[in-house]
Amino acid sequence: MGFATNAIHVGQEPDPATGAIVAPIYQTSTYVNEELGKNKGYDYARTNHPNRKALERTMAKLEGGHSAYVFTSGMAGIDAVFRLLRPGDHVVLSEAVYGGVFRLSTQLLVHFGLEFSFVDTSMTEAVRMAMRPNTKMLYIETPTNPTMNVTDIAAISKIAGERNITLAVDNTFLSPYLQRPIELGAHIVVHSMTKYLNGHSDATGGAVVLTRPEDAEKIYFIQRSAGSGLAPMDCFLVSRGIKTLAVRMLQHNANGITVARHLDAHPKVRKVFYPGLPSHPHHEVARKQQKGPGAMLSFDLGSVDAARRFLNHLQLCSLAESLGGVETLVSLPALMTHASMPKEVRERVGITEGLVRLSVGIEDVEDIIADLDQALLYV
């Protein structure tokens, strides 16, 4: 079946007890045993529940994985992936990685004996040069948040295969509708389901999709042992959001292209970072491995003062930390999503104080552009 059909039906079958087209929310913490040692597949909501299992089936199908597990947030899922490693293991990561991942790795996981190297993973040779004898994982974002660098997943997969190491890809910015990392050689795909998968800014959640049964067994052990599995109501909300993922991503993509082209021609904008523009250095790689460029972009206004004037005068677009909702969301990464990253690191990877990140929503694109234009008058 096609992507949209799977998004609507897999894991979201009618309730067998009543025939309800939408499965119920199992808002319970515990399940009654039929007799000692016998239950109906569930015992305690921390270890599993029907809403979680249904959403995990959906995620595994959409990404083409062997199995999937869902967590309380994207960061909880990413933390679980890094827990597959052991003290002394080394990880190579995209240098412009999301600020939360930078904080998790450099301020927490290093204290448990893991080693991290941040490189420009869009440069395949730089990845090769960063390899060590103890390298066990390659972790890439593509496109990167917020610099929009694109990594050739197939090329990095080849390096991982040569060295028998794990390749994990954060697919949050594009969703499985626009990019399918497993088909390009990834072993693990992670998502902040808070973003495009849910799409309505009303639930948090993370997903880890796995291709290897041995990884799946370990991730499930981590999920139930750490108590980081997603709660029933949030599972219900994300499952509901996924039903419209295909149609939402089509509109997000179309709006993203239109807004990027408009900003690229605007005299107040110094530079636009968007893989859908032919001027982007990784445009051809994006065309090769993505179904579309998506709705995430960044643009440079030159200074924090110019960015502040722009952001403070937006009326339709919302100044907010997150992304991927149906509404257009705007942020200043240097002071918001990546504030925990040291200034010298931000500047090295291109996260300047005048860099604005834009998550283009699915409103009428003319209204989005009109709001951006009137705010740019103050720059």
Report CA Rg, the chain.
Answer: 21
Alpha-carbon gap, residue 317 to 361, rounded angstroms = 9
Q: Which residues pair with 375 in a beta bridge?
A: none
Residue 28 sits at φ, ψ, to 5 deg, of -140, 150
* Residues 260 and 297 sit within 8 Å (Cβ to Cβ): yes
In this structure, how many other beta carbons lie within 10 angstroms of the beta carbon of residue 177? Answer: 24
The number of C-alpha atoms within 13 Å of 286 and in the hemisphere containing its C-beta is: 23
Helical spans, DSSP H, in the chain: 3-9, 50-63, 74-82, 99-107, 124-130, 153-163, 175-178, 213-226, 232-242, 245-264, 283-289, 304-312, 343-349, 365-376
Instruction: Please name the amino acid found at residue 18.
Output: T
Length of the chain: 379
In this structure, how many other beta carbons lie within 10 angstroms of the beta carbon of residue 107? Answer: 10
* Residues 39 and 48 sit within 8 Å (Cβ to Cβ): no
Helix and strand totals (H; E) in the chain:
14, 12
Could you give the residue numbers annotated as active site?
46, 98, 170, 195
The DSSP string of 297-328 is: EEEE-SSHHHHHHHHHT-SSSEE-S---SSS-
Alpha-carbon gap, residue 326 to 371, rounded angstroms = 16
